[in-house]
Each structure stands twice: as C-alpha cells, then as structure tokens.
Amino acid sequence: MSEEKKPLNFIEHIIEEDLKDGLDANDLRFRFPPEPNGYLHIGHTKAIGISFGLGEKYKAPVNLRFDDTNPAKEEQEYVDAIKEDISWLGYKWAEERYSSDYFQQLYDWAIVLIKDGKAYVDSQSSEAMAEQKGTPTQPGVNGPHRSRSVEENLELFERMKNGEFNEGAHILRAKIDMQHPNMLMRDPLIYRILKKHHHRTGNDWCIYPMYDWTHGESDYIEHISHSLCSLEFKPHRELYDWFLDQVVDTDKLRPKQREFARLNLSYTIMSKRKLLKLVEEGVVSGWDDPRMPTISGLRRRGYTPTSIKKFVETVGVAKRENSIDVSLLEFCIREDLNKSAPRVMAVLNPLKLVITNYDADKEEWLEAENNQEDESAGFRKVPFSNEIYIEKEDFKEEASDNFFRLKLGGEVRLKNAYIIKAESVVKDANGEITEVHCTYTEDTTKKVKGTLHWVSIQHSVTAEVREYDRLFNDEAPDSHQDKDFMEFINPESLKIIEAFVEPSLADAEIGQQFQFQRLGYFNVDKASKSGVLVFNKTVGLKDSWAKQKPKTETNQQKPQQKRLPIELIKQYGKKYDRLPDDKREEAKKDIQELAKHIAYDDLEPLFNTSVKKSGTRIITMISLGVLLANGVVKNEAINAFIAKALEDKNKLLVEEASAL
RNA sequence: UGGCCUAUGGUGUAACUGGCAACACGUCGGUUUUUGGUACCGAAGAGUCUAGGUUCGAGCCCUAGUAGGCCAACCA
C-alpha cells in the first residue's frame, strides 16, 4: 500500500494528537446537530462532511442529533427534510437522537446545580437582566435574586416546571460571574418557561433548556468525543466546559468542542432566516427551487451527491473566514456529470435549415454514441431528414476565420451525420434570417473545423427548458450594512425556453440527467409529465468561445479589501531593492502617489528600520521626500535618518537620501 | 472602552517537532478531438499583513502594531 499522505486539516491534527495521548480509537464518536427549523443548505454540507467524513475516516459512529430545545420554531417537516437530505448525500448516522430525549436528565442535573449553589431563579424582566449584564466592554453587576436560598430556588424551579407561572415570569440561570470578560459567563440562562407544544414531547414540559446547557450535556450523554461546530460558537466553549465541569464523571469520556469556519459561497446567502424569506415572499417557488442553495434545491437542479461531497472536500477546513467562488461548485458538478451523463442533442434557440439535395421524403436513423467517456454507455439512433433545426448562434452570413460554425459558403459537420455547406439564406420582411439552405455530402471523412448539434424537425419533441442564473447580482448580498439583501435579487434568474429535443428523450424520466451536446447538463424536473417534458439546466459546459467575445456582462470587479496607503508602501519595502529597473520605477511612482495620503506620524516609526532591510528604508526615504515637498519641516529624527542613509552601502538608498 | 479568534498567489486549502512555499479551482498558451466539452502538456501568478526579536536558518516561535471576524436573543 503506497499511502500517499493526504495532509491533515487542523481538526484531524487534534484527533491524531488525542489518539497519541492515549484516547482509544474506539472511543471516537461524532455528531451532526441540526436544529429542525429550516432546510439544510450547502453550508451545512460542510459541517456534515466534516463530522460524517471523520466518522468514515476513523470508522467511528456519527449520531444525527436534532437540537430541538425551542418548540416555538421547530417542526416535524424539517426533521423529515433533514433526514432525507443527509441520506441522499449518502451518509448513514449511527443513531437518531433528539436533545428532547434528555429533557428529564437535564432537569435532574439542573436540580443538582441549584443544590450546589451553582444556579438560581431570577424573576426580573429580560430588560432588567440585560441591563445588569453590562456590555462587551463593561462588566455586569449582580441582580437582586442572585443570593436566593437553595430552598427558595428549588421551590420556584419546581413551580416553574409545574406550569404555575407565565412565560417570562422566571428563569433559571447559572451563578458564575457577572464581571466575567466573556459575556456568556455572566450568569447565563439555563431554563425558560415556554408554554408551547413540542413536536416530540407534546405538552409534557413548560420549561425548556437553553442551547448552552443542552448541547454539551447531550454530547456527554452520547459519549461524543469531538463536538465540532462553526466559529461563532468559540466563545461558548468556555461555558460548554463550565457546564460539563458540573456534571462530568472524571473516568468517563469528556467531550471536546472545536470550531471551524463556516462555508460562504459567492453570489448567495446562507442564512436560514433569509432563505425562508425568499420562500415566503414567493421570490422562489419553494425550499427546493433549483436556484436555492439548499440541498434539496441543488438536488432538483441536478447536482449529485458525489459532486457536492467533492466540493466540500476541496474547499477544506480551517479557521479563517472564507468566500468560495461558485465556479468551484460548477467545476465539481461538471466533472461528475461528464463521466456519467448520456449525450443527446437538443436545440434551444432554433433556426430552420433545409438540405436541398436530400430527398424530402427520405429519413435515416443514424447511429450516435451515448457517451464517449463511458464505453459501456453504448449507442442509440437519431433520425435525420432534409429539414433540421440548428442553434441560431451557430450560423452567420459572414464571419471571420475563428468562427468555427456555419457561414455562407462554409462547411461544417453535423454531429453524428453529414457534412453540409451553406448555400443561401431566406429572410423575412424585417431582414431576419428564417431559413438556411445547404447541400450535404456523404463523405464524412473530410476535415472541417466545426461540428454542430441539430434536431430533425419532423421527428423533434418539444420540451420546456428552465435556464437559471444566479439569484443575486451581488457577490455577497447579505454583507452590506446599508442595503438589504433583497435589493440584489436578480430579476432574470429564471428563463423559460421552448426547446426541440431528439425523440429518444420523449420518455425520459424525472431526475434523469443528460448532456445536451455543446450546451450543458440538464435534468428532468419533477414538473415533467408524460407528453410534457420539463428540463432544468444544471450547469453549462465550459465555453471558451464565449469568453473570446467581448462580454456585454461587465466583469464585476472584486471589491478588494481596502488597505491603508502606509501599509501598501510598507509592502513595497519588502522587495523594492530587488525589483528590475523598470518595475522599480513604476513602484516608485506608486509609492510617491500613496505617500500623498499618509501622515508623518505613520512614517516616523519606520526610521528605526534595521540596517539590513534596505528596501524598507528606501521606500521610507521616498515617502519622506513627498512629505517634505508637501511642507513637512525637517526635524532631528528626519535629519538623523537621512544622515545614516547617506553612509549606507546600498546605492539606491544613498541616491534617494542625497536627493533630500 | 474589554475579551476571544484569524491573517499564505485572484479564490480555497497545504507546508509533519523551524530547512528551497505546494495542491485544486480560476487565468493564459499548446496538443488531441465528430461537443470551441473532455483528456493531456506547459506558463504566468504569492516570498507568507507590518515592524522588531530569537536562530546558522522563521510562513511556522516571541513582542508590538494593523486589518477583518465573533461576543450585550428567555435563538441555535
């Protein structure tokens, strides 16, 4: 076994370390803990891929645990959808669990906490408690109920549980430290009163545990070794550990929370709340609209589990904020479908073509290869006749040599058929071409540059084709503090086309995937019925021809993170003295421009730059020159800096210094 | 007036206890091709946010700064 070592991500490093430190590999166990309050999206796929992926790698069990502690937002519909999506991705969970399974245990532990003087009942308004909590920059203060006796706390908590109070009247909170620098440690809530029906426990409870109290203890109950979540839970880790400290038996496995950066995809949003808004406001047809970044949307669009897993794998796992280009997702689906999708011919934007030397009443069934990437895919027959459709874009009356398609007097190959030559065109009153007249030859061995797809008109089947574009026009629609994400909705994200497809597609079944040759990958939508074909365009083929033409679509500039001029100048310093002459000249001009926007106080610290970093000293000198020219008066520090530079070995530095 | 996290080509991730910054996508060029697809070959592109320090040697360790993110829900 030649094990090419795949580099480990930081979580795998942690696990390897734990294993080395004596953790039994059999004790490895993970969990994926969705809240059933919405559909899973591509962002969740990363979390799923991490935990289930680790399970596969270490042959460890992975639980699916629904974090269902808030009956106000959670529903069975979401539980079902989540299970379907995870299964569809091809993952198998060891056990299906619910946080609500542990409500009794959590309650019992809460009693222990109260008895230990580690928790108390507070009876103030949420506003009053928020007030006492302080702010991130200001410590909190103790509230009036903090010193209630254990007996009183026990009694009140019991009565909370029995439903004797209204929602909001009391809460149970941990007694930690109201001055703690971590806000989450300032006596966090453990239980609140919620007189709501729960999708699993019905009306058994009218108090419900909070996330922090529930999550770590649930991990402990399930013997989870590594509890992986996204970065925003980092501050919760301290509390996670505190709660664990209160109940953990030291010879039992203690779960560990570790955090990774969540996935962000360009031109889309990942917030469940915002996705729900798109659904509710009818911007999309539902959670599974093919434009949605949900797993169900991607599935309906034609994405495969393989492609999504590959995507998550390539994206990697780390701790820094990221934004992944959709083109990577598209690459992954093309790569997968290229190997498996049968090729067929379909014309989306038809132009009639008449072959004048082919008998009008003749038809031939020609052999066509289903997939040249897959020998086992075999062949099929496609009908040919004297009248066919080709794409409008595939014909021009005249065009330059790099237009490989059909032009008057030019020859082109018809895929799976003959070579034709365009002889003349027929136009309507507006000058629009309505027909192209061609002649054909049966000699198919000739070399011609272009190959076109086509469909015999009399044999063609009509189909509805839904072409999608990105749902938002902005790269990061929900990142603007002054604008709502709804303002960026792309009004042209869905285009419905009447297309003509080859007859072999007539009985294509829902979910089947094809490559429409030269166009892209398409699948049969669930709206398809016998006799009424509906296709979704999953993704187009890579099109290096379209790129050559001046695109009307303005290439959106990446909003480069703005850096301060002084920082940019410093960066030049790193390599300035090593640049070739011409580039150095450019750099110098750039520096001089940038230097107009810096203050003397920004520059002065650089005077102390060590002798060996001459590049930095030179750029400092150049900038200084600009400042002096703009009226900064020479002081002692400046004079010393220049004097020292004049003695330097570096010619460039001396040159710049003597100029001052 | 705080705490925590992060900083490596355009994007995303690597670089095992410090040792010539690598891979994928994207970009550009070429070969093959009955898909301007695929496959294959090649190229450009970062000297690792800045400064200082430790070291023979720093992307990695230390210090300070800068930038970005997270933290004040009876949400998860």
Residue A206's nearest CA partner among A71, A66, A36 is A71
Cα A467 from Cα A493, distance rounded (Å): 8
pLDDT attached to residue A562: 42
Any idea of the CA torsion for A610, A616, A618, A619, to the nearest 10 degrees?
-150
Cα A616 from Cα A575, distance rounded (Å): 8
Query: Which parts of chain A register pLDDT below 50?
Result: 1-3, 550-563
Does nucleic acid strand B have an atom less than 7 angstroms from the CB of A415? yes
pLDDT attached to residue A582: 62
pTM for this one? 0.86
Does nucleic acid strand B have an atom less than 7 angstroms from the CB of A8? yes
Q: Kindly provide the residue ranges of all beta strands, DSSP E only, lying in A49-186, ordered along the sequence.
A: 62-66, 96-98, 119-122, 171-174
DSSP-derived letter for residue A516 is: E
Contact A403, A397 (CB under 8 A): no
Does nucleic acid strand B have an atom less than 7 angstroms from the CB of A477? no
Give the angle subtended at the CA of A302 by the CAs of A299 and A304, to the nearest 5°: 70
Give the angle subtended at the CA of A406 by the CAs of A427 and A519, to the nearest 5°: 105
Among all strands, which nt has the closest C1' to A135 (CA)?
B72
Nucleotides of chain B touched by protein CB (<7 A) = 1-8, 10-15, 24-28, 34-39, 47-53, 66-76
Residue nearest to nucleotide B13 (CA to C1'): A316
Active site residue A272: yes
> Within 13 Å, how many C-alpha atoms sit on residue A94's CB side?
17
Does nucleic acid strand B have an atom less than 7 angstroms from the CB of A9? yes
Q: How many Å apart are A616 CA and B50 C1'?
A: 11
Residues whose CB falls within 8 Å of the CB of residue A292, separated by 6 or more in sequence, listed in order: A41, A275, A278, A284, A298, A471
